[in-house]
Structure 1
Amino acid sequence: MNNASSKLINSASLLIAGKFFQRSVGLISIVILARVLTPQDFAIAAIISMVIYFFDVLSDLGNEQYIIQKKEVSDKDLDAAWTINILIKSCLTLLLVLCIPFINSFYSEMQLTGALLVATCVLPIRALRNSGILRFQRELVYKQLFFLTIFQRLGSFCAVMLMIWIYPSFWALIIGDITSALIFTFGSYIVHTFRPSFSLKNIKQQWLFSRWILAKNIIGYTRSQIDTFIVSSLFNARDLGRYYLSRDIVMLPSQNLLTPAIQPLLATFSAKHHSGNSLGRQLEFSLLVTTMLTIPIVFYIWYFPAPLIDTILGEQWSDSYILLSRLSLLVLYIPFIVLFEQIMIAKGWVAKLLVFDIASLILICSGLLVLGDTVLSEFAMHRGLLGIGATCVLILFIRVQMNFSLFAWGIWCLICAAVSYLSVLGVQYINRVSDSSGVVILLISGGVFTSLYAAAMALIVRMLAPRNENCLFLKRLMTKYIAQIREKLG
């Protein structure tokens, strides 16, 4: 196994471990909060989160993508990235404060003024992060970031639990976000020796790259959150709280496993963008890995929402079973959107990507407005289907522009879906002969499903390895990964 493959495995392992820890602690928080807070509290949290992160996206000029894709990075580039962050986020913080009265009047029944004023502090705190940590991501060195995210999540969790003990309300979530931002900002100066300084040099170069990224981020974020906004307009506060919390649960596996697993793959795209053939091969392998991880998650959530809801939220949220099941469709396409968007950035198709984002936003928004006046679970399914349709259009565009086997990927999707469904049948049989419930049935069903799927896919990869280059490389990565685990345990 070459150094690049070993570095890829180590990076993916650390990212998965870090994200798994973060979201595990976050899951514990949800389990506690769902039993203490009301759906109305989560509705307020949803609106605040939607507003704050929209302004956060407005201030994201793609500095991370610029630094990662650049052939050589100097200290001046990092100074410029830090300076841009401070200038943009400071202006947008002021703009957000001025907009608070209008936001509060739109959601007049919730009285958001005080909460939004406090939550706004997150923006300037994040602006001060040490830009030197971008070098870690560029060089696939994630050890320091791993430990930083561990401390960040632990500190945020402690702050949330303290607030719940003192004053159980949506304020716990706001204080948790502020604490998380503070820890990561201060920690970024501890884990990296670089010290940024205010500098306007090299800003022009970053702006020429980032102007399209900024527009793409705004449209992309709007597309991802338009359903929450429409729910807040068409449905009552309880339904908004149910939708927000169920959506958060659905995204847990994506944030724990899918995103950190494919992030090192995405980082390799920039190193290969000068070679169309190598980039095409890298895309094919990334599709293979992403598909193998994504499809079983969708199948499990679709068929077994009850143990997830009962264990995580409690039986008082049982009216969200069907809602959670239908929201699983979001997991089916979001990782592929991330994958294809990164490919387009690596190829320099940022303007084309912006066109896709605008078109998909119009499709999803108009579709939801036409079909939205229905029950919440049907609204969730429409959201997922519209997103899948937009993703299919993007896939066809990429296929026309690049040389990769769409047929081979389609066959791989069918294989993963068939194995996932057979694993579902195995779990359903176990459930029929078991009288367990709650967390026990979740552990049993999750363990059986994962074991059946992993064993079957490992066998299939082993059988296809002699005939397929991507399966052969995946087999070698899996062998190397298992060997590293055994070495650490031994």
Structure 2
Amino acid sequence: MSKINKELNKGILNSLIGKYSLYLLQITSLSILARLFTPEDFGTLAALQVLILFFQLLATSGLAPAIIHQEIITIDQRNGIFTATLIIGISLSVLFIYLTPLLANWLNLTHVSLLTYVLALNVLFSAIAMLPLASLQKDTQFIIIGKAEIFAEIIALIVCILLYFFGFGVVALAVKLLITPVGRFVFYYRFSVLTELGQAKFGTKISSIVPLFAVAKFQLGFNILNFFSRNLDTLLVAKYFGVTTVGFYEKTYQLMRYPLQLFTFAINPALQPVLTRYKSQPDMIFTAYYQLAYKLGVLGILTATIMFWYAGDIIFILFGSQWLAASELLKILALSIPVQMVLSSTGGLYQAMGATKQMFYCGVFSSIVNVSAIMFGVYTGEMTVLCTSLVVAFIINYFQCFYVLHHSVFKIKKIKHFIVLSFLVLLCLVNLLFTSSNDMPHESFNYLTSFYNIANIVLPLMLIAASAFIFHMKRKVKS
């Protein structure tokens, strides 16, 4: 095994341990809250959360990848950057307070004044957490990051449940969104003292943040375009279909993205720090990445197939019977999982090669495609059409993204790896040739049957995967 593969596998393993622990806790948290709050509660917060996510995006400004990419950062520069993030966070929090009532009025949402002030603090703490988090990521301290996120999630969940029983309603959900970034900042900041960059203090050299924008500007542009193309659907569904429908849609989309979080988002933090060390050897990075992409493609197919055939059972187990209306949407969106898993992993590749400009252009293209798909779905007035349009958009974006990687970033004309990968990620579309035999009336679902249905397919797959892993390890020992 090459040195880059060893370092990549080590970084990915550490990232997976931390992220998987967090995702298990988040799924448990979501299952509990979905039984306490209504689809309308989640829909109201989902609509406002689009604005929160946008301001969080502006607050970090793509600076974390720029810090990781930077080889040397002095103490004065570090402290100046930290102070700059505080100023950015305060400014954006004030702007958030001003703009949220306008968005709420456009979406016909009422009683959101208290939510506005609670969520504004979310923006502030997300901003100042950027530098401590980047310092941990730069040193590949993913276990520590995982611990910080788990502690913050547990505290937020406990407070949310307590506030719910005290009668705070949807405000309890908003407070959870506030406590999570506050808790993460406290833990990131505490543990950042162990990193090479060190624990940041307030400094006067605020201009130190300016050079980082040379790397971050295209990253920021890409993130903004990607944000609107991925979140416009939530706003338009809330506007034209109502907050209850957006509650179902948001939960469906969130459930579809969990496999991405488990397999792709969990390893992404490890990609850039490790691959950046080999940026002068693009052929080595290219080969190492495709070995990873094949694995993601296979995992995506298995996950998509399970979610397609057992969408109702999965939703019933995780969220309860009041969410079963979302199962048809989940079946459609599940078909995009393999494509999205591979596509989402390319960000670290672009960043490692310093190709944020090309990534930005990809973002422009994908934004146009995604927005067109969303507008078409909203125009038809059918949620199933909207979801189908998004699946097609993701497939188009996949082909365009890898064309740019081959042609402009690596300048490699060989497409053998790409053909094999494309076959893998599109294989799950075969599910469409069959009619699901698992469609049942909502009142027919029960936990015993649902667990049996899922275990019937998951356990054999786990057995096959374990056997393949043991066989691989034996071959590795012999060699």
Fold conserved between structures, TM > 0.5: yes
Q: Deviations over 1:374-420 (max 9, x none)?
A: 32122112112212212211112222233375333433554687799
Match of 2:340 in 1: 334
Task: Tell me the distance in 1 between the aligned counterparts of 2:275 and 2:117.
Answer: 40
Counterpart residue number, 1:155:
155
Cα distance change on mapping 1:415 and 1:127 into 2, 3 Å:
closer
In the TM superposition, what are the counterparts of 1:7-22 in structure 2 within 5 Å? 8-22=8-22
SS of structure 1 residue aligned to 2:210 = helix
Match status 1:253 vs 2:259 = yes
Partner of 2:416: 407
Q: Who is 1:185 aligned against? A: 185
Using the TM superposition, give the Cα deviation of residue 32 of structure 1 relative to its aligned residue in structure 2, in angstroms.
2.4
CA RMSD of aligned residues (A): 3.3
Picking from 210, 227, 235, the partner of 2:241 is 235
Aligned to 2:319: 313
* Identical columns (%): 14
Of the three residues 364, 367, 375, the one matched with 1:361 is 367
Q: 1:454 to 1:399 in 2, by over 3 A?
A: farther
Structure 1 window deviating more from structure 2 (405-414 vs 234-243): it is 405-414
Over 3 Å counting, the alpha-carbon distance change for 1:478 and 1:384 in structure 2 is: farther
Deviates more, 1:401-410 or 1:341-350: 401-410
TM-score (norm 2): 0.86
Asked if structure 1 preserves the Cα contact closer than 8 Å seen for 2:56 and 2:127, the reply is no
Q: CA deviation at 1:219?
A: 1.0
What residue is the counterpart of 1:453 in the other structure?
461
Contact 1:104/1:113, CA 8 A, preserved across alignment:
no
- What's the secondary structure of 1:196's corresponding residue? coil
Give how far 1:363 is off: 1.8
Contact map agreement 2:92 2:124 (CA 8 A) in 1: no
Alignment of 1:245-324 (within 5 A): 245-324=251-330
Residue by residue over 1:67-119, the C-alpha shift from the partner in whole angstroms, topping out at 9 and shown as x without a partner, is 22223343344324323322222211111122133223212343323212221
Amino acid in structure 2 at the alignment position of 1:162: L
- The separation in 1 between residues aligned to 2:201 and 2:273, in whole angstroms, is 24
User: 1:293-347: per-residue Cα shift (whole Å, max 9, x none)?
Assistant: 2221112111210111111121222221111111224433333333223322333
Once the two structures are superposed, residues 134-173 of structure 1 have per-residue CA deviations (whole angstroms, 9 ceiling, x without a partner) of 2331222223222212211111111111122212622121
Distance 1:44 1:478 in 2: 54
1:3-82 pair list within 5 angstroms? 8-82=8-82
**Aligned twin of 1:375:** 382
Say if 2:395 is the partner of 1:388: yes
Distance in 2, Cα, partners of 1:478 & 1:156:
46
Which amino acid letter does the alignment assign opposite residue 376 of structure 2? V
Corresponding residue for residue 208 of structure 1 = 214
SS of corresponding position for 1:120: helix
Of 41-50 and 159-168, the range deviating more from structure 2: 159-168
CA 1:130–1:400: 2 relative to 1, 3 Å: closer
Deviation track 1:221-247 (CA, whole Å, cap 9, x = no partner) reads: 111112112212221222111101111
One-letter amino acid matched to 1:253: P
Identify if the C-alpha distance between structure 1 residues 207 and 80 changes in structure 2 by more than 3 Å, giving closer, same or farther.
farther
The alpha-carbon distance between structure 1 residues 122 and 439, as it changes in their structure 2 partners (threshold 3 A), is: same
Output aligned runs, 1:392-471, within 5 Å.
392-401=399-408, 402=410, 403=412, 406-411=415-420, 414=423, 438-456=446-464
| 2:407/2:413 contact within 8 Å kept | no
CA distance in 1, matches of 2:2, 2:237: 50
Indicate conservation of the 8 Å contact 1:323/1:377, yes or no.
yes
Q: Which moved more, 1:161-170 or 1:3-12?
A: 3-12
Instruction: Give the deviation of 1:125 after TM superposition.
Output: 2.0
Q: 1:135 to 1:311 in 2, by over 3 A?
A: same
Aligned to 1:97: 97
Q: Which residue of 2 aligns with 1:352?
A: 358
CA deviation digits over 1:217-274, x for unaligned, max 9? Answer: 1111111112112212221222111101111122222223332134323432211211
| Structure 2 unaligned residues grouped into runs of 5+ | 194-198
CA distance in 2, matches of 1:458, 1:399: 34
The alignment covers a number of residue pairs equal to 463
> Using a 3 Å threshold, how does the CA distance of structure 1 residues 366 and 7 change in structure 2: closer, same or farther?
closer
CA distance in 2, matches of 1:349, 1:90: 31
CA distance in structure 2 between the aligned counterparts of 1:115 and 1:388, rounded to whole angstroms: 37
State the shift of 1:180 in Å: 1.1
Q: Distance in 1 between matches of 2:429 and 2:17?
A: 24
Q: Tell me if structure 1 keeps the 8 A contact 2:48–2:104.
A: no
Contact 1:296 1:420 (C-alpha < 8 Å) held by counterparts: no
User: Aligned partners of 1:303 and 1:406: how far apart in 2?
Assistant: 33
Q: Contact 2:12/2:267 (CA < 8 Å) preserved in 1?
A: yes
- Alignment partner of 1:197 is 2:206: no
TM-superposition CA deviations, 1:56-77 (whole Å, max 9, x none): 1122222210122223343344
Q: CA deviation at 1:461?
A: 8.3
Q: For the residues of structure 1 that align with 2:388 and 2:318, how far apart are their CA atoms?
A: 22
What's the counterpart of residue 110 of structure 1? 110
2:138 corresponds to which letter in structure 1?
A: R
Q: Structure 1 345/70 Cα, relative in aligned 2: closer, same or farther at 3 Å?
A: same
Secondary structure of 2:165 counterpart: helix
Q: Give 1:154's aligned amino acid.
A: I
Matched residue SS, 2:129? coil
**Whole-angstrom CA distance in 1 between matches of 2:299 and 2:216:** 31
Q: Please give the alpha-carbon distance, in whole angstroms, between the structure 2 residues aligned to 1:100 and 1:134.
A: 29
Structure 1 residue 29 displacement after superposition: 2.5
Amino acid at match of 1:195: A
Contact between 1:25 and 1:157, CA under 8 Å: does it hold in 2? no
> Cα gap change, 1:420/1:460 in structure 2, threshold over 3 Å: closer, same or farther?
farther
User: How do 1:167-178 and structure 2 match up within 5 A?
Assistant: 167=167, 169-178=169-178
TM-score (structure 1 length as normaliser):
0.84
1:461–1:30: structure 2 CA closer, same or farther, 3 Å change rule? closer
Q: 1:32 to 1:413 in 2, by over 3 A?
A: same
In the alignment, structure 1 segments of 5+ residues that lack a partner are: 464-474, 481-490
Deviations 1:153-208 (A, max 9, x none): 11111111112221262212111111112211122232232232223253231122
Residues 281, 404 of structure 1: 8 Å contact kept: no
Corresponding residue for 2:138? 138
Equivalent residue number for residue 127 of structure 2 = 127
Are 1:266 and 1:339, in contact at CA under 8 Å, matched by a contact in 2? Answer: no
Task: Describe the shift of the 1:185–1:341 C-alpha distance in structure 2 as closer, same or farther (beyond 3 A).
Answer: closer
